[in-house]
Amino acid sequence: MKSVLLAAFVVFALLLRPFGAAAQTIPIQGTIKDSKGEALPGVTVIVKGTTTGASTGADGRFTLQAPANSVLVISSVGFTRQEVPVAGTNGNVNVTLADNAQSLNDVVVIGYGTARKSDLTGSVASVTGKQLTQVATSDPVQALQGRVAGVDVTSNSGQPGSGTRIRVRGVGTINNSDPLYVVDGFLTTDISFLLPENIESTEILKDASATAIYGSRGANGVVVITTKHGKVGKPQFNVSSYVGFQQIRKKLDLTNAAQYSTLVNEAYVNAGKALPADLAAQVPNAIATNAQGTNWQDLVSQRGLIESYNLSVAGGNEQNRYLVSGAYFQQDGIVKSSGLKKYIVRLNDDLVLTDHIKAGLSATFTHSQLLANSGGGNSLFKSSITASPLSNPYNADGTFAYDQITSFTPNLARVIQEQQYNKTNTNDLFTNAYVDVKIIKGLSFRSNFGVRYTNGNPRVYLPKYYLGANDQRSLSSLQDTRTETVGYVWSNFLNYNKDLGDNSSFSATLGQEAQQTTFNGTQITAFDVPIDPNLQYITSARSPVPTIGQLLPTDNSLLSYFARANYAYKDRYLLTGTVRLDQTSKFLPAVRRGVFPSVGAAWRVSNEKFLKSVSAISLLKLRASYGGVGNQNAAPSYGFASVAINQQNYVFNNTLAPGIAVAQLNNPGLKWETAITSDIGLDLDLLDSKLSFTADYFERRTKDMIALLPVPDYVGQGPASANVASLRNRGLELALTYRDAIGKLGYTANVNFTAINNRITSLGGASPIASGNVLAQFGNTTLTDVGREVAYFYGLQAQGVFHNQGEIDSYKNAAGTLIQPNAKPGDVKYQDVNNDGKIDPTDRTYLGSATPSFSYGASLNLTYSGFDFQILLYGVQGAKAINAPAFDLSKSSNFAGTWSNFYASRLDRWTPTNTGSDQPRMTADDKNGNDQFSSRYVENASYLRARNMQLGYTLPAALLSKYQVGGLRVYVSVDNLFTITKYTGLDPEISSSGYYNNPLAYGVDFGNYPQPRTYRLGVNVNF
């Protein structure tokens, strides 16, 4: 680590070397104003080709020394850069900068190039780096939540380092729906090596016209990221830092010891049974003394520190621009013994070698340390809400106690202590270099080569202990895993641009790209390892024979050729055509080639003569696109090959012979999933672009979707993957922005809306796919079938409870037989869906899904005399969730063999004196099946969340100039300030990746580590 830092600062020192010889200078002074005639503070004025420069003060004035034959470069964020020759100015330079913040000529980054925003034919959304830093997170993807229509962002959990899932235009497959990330031209599957502070801009490519140039990796959308680079001028230092704390946003309202005991005692009374000995020793006394017991949620949770420190220096001249930065991020989890630390060092250097050649290099090194890598945070909190409040974590002598009642739940105080040994250390080195050659006017060649190397070291130490029969470990163990991932991308492409005159132009891109990613890893488990942290090594094990295993290695390659052509006629009619050919190692030669074309067209109506005179319309553009993109990530690495396993012994002639057996069938014809996308869009700017509106209607049909072919049980082998299924997404996206000022009050309001209809259109004749089995007692909870969305909830439909014997007696079938003959008053009533006169698994039915009817985001930014205020809202409507912890917390019996804690609302259960309740009765002898999976556990998971609210103040430039400070802003911020929801679980935001990364368990809440509320105090300083 020290060597990396030393190397970075040596390079930095070299970058600060002087360039060029001194020339005779003259004094220059002047004033910089905006289009309204108001003075602009903080404008950079640089002598072109040097680092000599100055910044304007609060009155917009500047002074500097410059050669008489030099050129001044004047620039400021949000304004058009100008170059002014010194000759002829007599030393006085007064300039008015044009506002370009909302200019139609804004450039956005697209695949293998850039384009004017007004020239786009595809659906592309942009998010600035400043917007990404509004939320306290080390994950840039999480910072996108609520910003863009058609982009759904959910955290895997609130546990530090747990990651985030993003879905562009919905779930596009029953397999991997993750988008492609492109960082400064490097294609990758995640951006965990970056912080939000490292990013200059983010573009999200959504339709085929925008994504087809990425071919087989573009089906789920593309997130294009441009990192921060140096700018011409004197070294500019930037310090951004915040410190704060996080706390649990919501704790569940559970029963205390006396209330818990009342419910448990009642269950045995209703069943006509005596309390078991372990309960009889505690329950009566807890009721008599109104005991409060242990609040396990308080035991495992904490107020966690969060802090971030970023230092960067950037500058250079016209020949060499550099940026060097370092960052430290720490987040203590809101569950004890969980947390994350990150260290990041970055270098970007851009060089002008000759008039025709440019080159550049960027490098990022990230070291992260994750505490409680084994999911301890999730399991800890899940256990804390189910543990019996009668139990105590400690004995009278301070040792850990044994829970006699819910012995399946480990002693959580002991687990907290144990989790401190479990850490994952990861090193990630990302390097990228380019050379850009201007061949002739309008024609350039660019070669981009990037490498990403990642090694991970998860270590899980489990000490020996004994508390009781069901809470013990007879032998300590250490599991040490080493993983290594190496990937490279080499892109070579030509860009051609031709101005045809008469506001017409032509541009083209032609290129080739090669990619390869390899993964390998080993896992060693040793036993009887000492508890001393200094001795927790494999070599310290007293047991002589460790278990050694190899993680499945992979080696995936992709060779591609791509082309794109753009034609603009009279700045009104726009046409884009794209095609990419990919060849992948994931498939056999006969099917490994895929061709992915697209076409997009746009009509800039506002440039027509009949609208020229309508001053209220700044832009009116109609867009349409159609094309196909692939999804190679949906395919297993070796789906074309059979999988055999060893140690499959057999007896021949009374002799045991070792052997292997095929465990997984193969499919040599396995090929790409392909998404055919069509899009119709509207871009409208009104009132000098103060009001901007974008609308898109799209349809995405995924064909050749990979699913498992059913095989008869007698085959004895796992099914093969095959291209047999299809899926359709159809949706509407709307985005509205309004910006204006009233005197000194400036304001910007944004609203976005997304509605997506998701349907499985074919499973190739296969049976519906059952999944979502997160509790053994529940069984599968989701079904994926033709005509419905992916992973809808499937179970019995509960209809409240039987309030009296008369309701039971009247619930009969056509033959006059009781439909639920074992029911008693207070038991759950189920709907006889198929009308066969009985309740059984064939009555399971559609219970909704986690796919929302629509999602939305909104933000408001206000500025006034140095003050600024920002609020960001995000919400979903019409989504449902399976509250799996409610199986324990809402249970009416000890169906799973134990009495866990209860929701406090269970105190309102049915009793002979409370017959109006819809909560089932308590019983230790449930013959009705009250606790089987049903709509009782499916809840409304719609919510509206204040993702962030922030208040800041920027000190006056006139004051700061006295101290040679370019800018200073302080702010206070709150994340997850409030959440409005009817969901009774911990958090309605449930990862779209599903339980254990199973996309078919989408919306099943297993007791996720909740999202924290974060309070911060921050400062940004420039000098």
Domains of the chain by start residue, with CATH: 26-96 (2.60.40.1120), 248-304+374-421+893-930 (no CATH), 799-839 (no CATH)
Q: Would you give the distance in Å from CA 1019 to the centre of its chain?
A: 26
pLDDT computed for residue 74 by the predictor: 87
Tens digit of each residue's pLDDT (9 = 90 or more) over 39-98: 787 788 888 877 677 778 767 788 888 888 888 888 876 677 888 898 888 888 888 887
Beta strands in 797-942 (DSSP E): 798-801, 828-830, 845-849, 854-864, 867-877, 880-883, 938-940
Extract the tokens encoding 450: 């990037």
Residues sharing a CB contact under 8 Å with residue 771, sequence separation 6 or more, in sequence order? 780, 781, 782, 783, 784, 791, 998, 1000, 1001
User: Could you tell me whether strands 504-527 and 477-501 are parallel, antiparallel, or unpaired per DSSP bridges?
Assistant: antiparallel
pLDDT computed for residue 8 by the predictor: 44
Q: Is 118 helix (H, G, I), strand (E, B) or coil?
A: helix
d(CA 104, CA 457): 48
| Helix or strand run (H / E) with residue 4 | helix 2-15
- What is the model's pTM? 0.85
Q: Pick from 940, 993, 1010, 942: which is nearest to 772 by CA?
A: 993
Q: Pick from 793, 724, 782, 727: which is nearest to 757 by CA?
A: 727
pLDDT computed for residue 714 by the predictor: 65
Is residue 463 classed exposed, middle or buried when 0-12, 13-18 and 19+ CB atoms within 10 A define those classes? middle
pLDDT computed for residue 22 by the predictor: 43
The low-confidence residues of the chain, meaning pLDDT below 50, are 1-22, 101-104, 374-377
* 322 touches 230 (CB < 8 A): yes
Cα distances from 502 to residues 622, 661, 713, in angstroms, run 21, 71, 71
Residue that the structure tokens 């509106």 belong to: 693
Find residue 223's DSSP bridge partners: 181, 204
Tens digit of each residue's pLDDT (9 = 90 or more) over 522-559: 999 999 999 998 899 998 898 888 888 888 899 999 99
pLDDT computed for residue 992 by the predictor: 56
Cα distances from 638 to residues 474, 554, 669, in angstroms, run 39, 8, 12
Q: Pick from 704, 626, 714: which is nearest to 667 by CA?
A: 704
Beta strands in 353-442 (DSSP E): 357-371, 423-440
